[in-house]
Structure 1
Amino acid sequence: MYKFSKINRKIIILIMIIGFILIFLDKTFFEKKNKNFLNSNIEKIKYEEKKNNPWTGLYISIFYFTSISLGSLFFLGIQNVSKSGWSVILHPIMEKVASFIPYGCFMIFIILLLNTINFIHMFHWMDSNLFDPNSVKYDKIIASKKLFLNIPFFLIRSIIYGFVCSFFYSKIKKISYSLDKTHSLNDYKKLNFISVIFIIFFSIISIFMAWDWIMSLNPHWFSTLFSWYVLSSYIVTGIGTVTIIAIYLNQKGFLPWFKKSHLHDLSKYLFSSSLLWSYLWFSQFLLYWYGNVPEEISYFLKREEMYNSIHFWMLIPNFIIPFLGLISSKNKANHKIVFTVSLILLIGHYIDIYNLIAPDVGIKFGISEIGSLLLIGGFFSYILFSNLEELNSASSTGNPFFQESKKYKYPYM
């Protein structure tokens, strides 16, 4: 049985404290530096953009770690629906990685709420003057989207996203726990059914979630592939985190049934999901490149100017390294290689999430972003490892495919 040691708890708490201090220092330094330099409208606009800086960094980190949990739960749902026998011993880990969902969705909602009351100014379209034809700020494009982009409906949708994801996480966890106790076929059927419903619901709400929480930051820009692109990022980071935790627990002796055959299959999912992300990245870029529509290519031009073509550089950790590292069947069963590639993918997809959000808010990577990553990452880790203490020898034993998973051997190994 895994034990979250006091030393590890203190280390994670220390990381969170350091993160909070960095955010506080950056915020204090910024206000002191800028309070006497608001002599023009341009300076005021820049001030408003920079004032979002600590909040934007927090938003990026919260969204990133929430996406990891959502991806893990989605991957678990796929395993349940497909009745995959090999992965049963990993189901509890997928559940634990998903345990951050309620916390992440709640924190995202708080930041969105602060935007609606004008405390933060990340979402440009929330300025009511943009919808007023008599105002000098009137924006015809944004005004045409008022039916969808209005504060009450926006908040209602966000509540639905958080509630639905948290509900399905709680329900799947509850049925899994009951299944381990009862070993009942009825409970297994319930688990299968609720997973089907979750996949259907999540496939729908993840589309609107990406539109609301990311794409609406720049309401002049749109992409028909965007939601699928973001969903693929969920899956990659979810599988990558499950892989890292499984290898870690196995090396510590807490997951003895996790063998090279399981690692090989997990690596295949990691490899294929990274290719899916790369395919969607290329598809979106290609459509915009040959279309050459100013409203669309502004997305790439802005990122090229602000971040020195970061949109292309992030292909290295998100596509090239995983492709070269995991294309070999032998490498897929090597825990050191898979662990390293998984870690690189997690870093690469943080850059991806940052690239999706930060340019449209007008910030650059700095101290507050590092602090936010440490603070939210520490909180995520604390929740995860606290939940991992629930792992024991009885985990997943009620699943009818447990013995198959325990004895699983990849045919060509």
Structure 2
Amino acid sequence: MYQFSRIKINKKIIIFLMIITVGFIIIFLDRIFNVKNNHKSWTVLYISIFYFTSISLGALFFLGIQNVSQSGWSVIIHPVMEKISSFIPYGGVMILIILLLNTMDIVHIFYWMNSNLYNPIFLEYDKIAASKRIFLNIPFFLIRSVIYVLGYSFFYLNIKNISRTLYISHSLNDYKKLYFRSIIFIIFFSVISIFMTWDWVMSLNPHWFSTLFSWYVLSSFIITGISTITITAIYLNKKGYFPLFSKSHLHDLSKYLFSSSLLWTYLWFSQFLLYWYGNIPEEVIYFIKREKIYNSIHFWMLIPNFIIPFFGLISSKNKSNYKIVFSISLVLLIGHYIDIYNLIAPDVNERFCIFEIIGSLLIIGGFFIYILYSNLNIKFNSSEGNPFFKESKNYKYPYM
């Protein structure tokens, strides 16, 4: 039976990374507990947690799509997708903690959680925020957030357990369970992710709304998920732990990267064009605010998120080049972090601060990588029990 080889990580690298991370944690915590910097530090921490959680959600969603479509080519990569999804429960709990700190008035990221906004006797009274109180109230908001985290965690653990059982049993009934559970997850994710992005991102500015927003953010989830899957698969293959991963599999992953980056760009342009054409003050404030704070960063981020992947992956030859695809995947991860930062930070009036961004990325990113490679370090299971395993193992892209 084919299995992942047990991954050995150089202890010196771990110690070196731990020293750097601990140093940043000390400085970062100093800023968190410094009253003047409290707001800004918690914001960039929230952005990093949301970003890495979105990567795991994107990977699990992509895995669900592969199961439901019964794609034969991707079966050997399924375990990698599951491992990347393993951060979902941890990221979800960390987001819930930050939300609770907001409700307790310790952290001030969500503007609408200020109770004075809803009382006309206060100068802070906000008529627009008050009109949305049926949806934007703390108890209902927390209940919804708990449902998101529990729901995503349940489907991740359930799909993982069924896959493990399938690996042992090679049973067609277990495969059918995986298939139908993936269908339910995709339906759940397609609906719940809309409300999740409204709550965790768009509600940061209750004066602004977008009908395309949830789909726009969902496309970013998919891109970062596929990029991380690609980087991990290439890394494991180059280290000799994932020998069945071939250029044919890489070519198909690259096609998904190419097409999903086009989807993101289409949604970006659709939102921008509608706002520009309509010129409604409540809508265009989204772009005006970002232009003033970050000098039109919403245009500059088209370079890593559209132009580089478009011209880098338009060639079929480039799609099967490990170095090119690996580099473009990294560029996309950086580009979509900028996108997530651009979605959240301006709505809490935060200016770009490279120190806090690096610190938060080291802390949460280090934890994400630790969870990922801790799971990869466990002797698990390929997807050998999947009836399409042999097809995936012998898969050859026809035009290569």
Q: Please, what TM-score do these two structures have when normalized by structure 2?
A: 0.96
Displacement of 1:362 after TM fit? 1.3
Query: Do the aligned partners of 2:165 and 2:174 also contact (CA within 8 Å) in 1?
Result: yes
Q: After the TM superposition, which residues 93-108 of structure 1 pair with which residues of structure 2 at under 5 Å, given as runs?
A: 93-108=80-95
Q: Give the SS at the match of 1:52.
A: helix
Q: After the TM superposition, which residues 68-217 of structure 1 pair with which residues of structure 2 at under 5 Å, given as runs?
A: 68-217=55-204
Matched, 1:23 2:28: yes
Aligned length: 394
Matched, 1:266 2:270: no
Gapped regions of structure 1 (runs ≥ 5):
35-49
Displacement of 1:391 after TM fit? 4.9
Displacement of 1:21 after TM fit? 2.5
2:364 is matched with 376
Q: After the TM superposition, which residues 221-370 of structure 1 pair with which residues of structure 2 at under 5 Å, given as runs?
A: 221-366=208-353, 367-370=355-358
1:2 is matched with 6
Query: Do the aligned partners of 1:12 and 1:382 also contact (CA within 8 Å) in 2?
Result: no
Query: Do the aligned partners of 1:19 and 1:373 also contact (CA within 8 Å) in 2?
Result: no
Residue 98 of structure 1 aligns with an amino acid whose one-letter code is: S
Residues 188-218 of structure 1: CA deviation (Å, up to 9, x unaligned):
0000011000000000010000000000000
Query: Do the aligned partners of 1:9 and 1:382 also contact (CA within 8 Å) in 2?
Result: no
Query: Do the aligned partners of 1:16 and 1:376 also contact (CA within 8 Å) in 2?
Result: no
Displacement of 1:368 after TM fit? 1.9
Q: Give the SS at the match of 1:350.
A: helix
Bigger drift between 51-60 and 160-169 goes to 51-60
1:14 is matched with 19
| CA pair 156-399 structure 1, distance change in 2 beyond 3 A | same
| CA pair 335-391 structure 1, distance change in 2 beyond 3 A | farther
Residue 129 of structure 1 aligns with an amino acid whose one-letter code is: N
| CA pair 17-95 structure 1, distance change in 2 beyond 3 A | same
**Equivalents in 2 of 1:203, 1:364: separation in Å?**
32
Residue 96 of structure 1 aligns with an amino acid whose one-letter code is: K
Residue 375 of structure 1 aligns with an amino acid whose one-letter code is: I
Residue 196 of structure 2 aligns with an amino acid whose one-letter code is: M
**Equivalents in 2 of 1:364, 1:383: separation in Å?**
31
Displacement of 1:135 after TM fit? 2.0
**Equivalents in 1 of 2:105, 2:60: separation in Å?**
33
Displacement of 1:65 after TM fit? 0.2
Calculate percent identity across the aligned residue pairs: 70
Displacement of 1:7 after TM fit? 3.4
Query: Do the aligned partners of 1:15 and 1:375 also contact (CA within 8 Å) in 2?
Result: no
Q: Give the SS at the match of 1:147.
A: coil
**Equivalents in 1 of 2:297, 2:229: separation in Å?**
27
Q: Please, what TM-score do these two structures have when normalized by structure 1?
A: 0.93
Residue 382 of structure 1 aligns with an amino acid whose one-letter code is: Y
Displacement of 1:13 after TM fit? 2.7
Displacement of 1:364 after TM fit? 1.9
**Equivalents in 2 of 1:87, 1:8: separation in Å?**
31
Residues 259-310 of structure 1: CA deviation (Å, up to 9, x unaligned):
1100000000011011111110000000100000011111100100000111
Residue 6 of structure 2 aligns with an amino acid whose one-letter code is: Y
Matched, 1:387 2:342: no
Residue 368 of structure 1 aligns with an amino acid whose one-letter code is: E
Displacement of 1:8 after TM fit? 4.1
Residues 125-182 of structure 1: CA deviation (Å, up to 9, x unaligned):
0111111122222111111101000000000000000000000000000000000001
Query: Do the aligned partners of 1:180 and 1:396 also contact (CA within 8 Å) in 2?
Result: yes
| CA pair 15-195 structure 1, distance change in 2 beyond 3 A | farther
Gapped regions of structure 2 (runs ≥ 5):
none
Matched, 1:399 2:386: yes
Residues 98-143 of structure 1: CA deviation (Å, up to 9, x unaligned):
0000000000000000000100111110111111122222111111
Residues 68-127 of structure 1: CA deviation (Å, up to 9, x unaligned):
000000000000000000000000000000000000000000000000010011111011
Displacement of 1:27 after TM fit? 4.3
**Equivalents in 2 of 1:100, 1:4: separation in Å?**
20
**Equivalents in 2 of 1:408, 1:349: separation in Å?**
31
Query: Do the aligned partners of 2:7 and 2:241 also contact (CA within 8 Å) in 1?
Result: no
**Equivalents in 2 of 1:149, 1:237: separation in Å?**
29
Displacement of 1:249 after TM fit? 0.4
CA RMSD of aligned residues (A): 1.2
Q: Give the SS at the match of 2:222.
A: helix
**Equivalents in 1 of 2:32, 2:180: separation in Å?**
48
Query: Do the aligned partners of 1:88 and 1:399 also contact (CA within 8 Å) in 2?
Result: yes
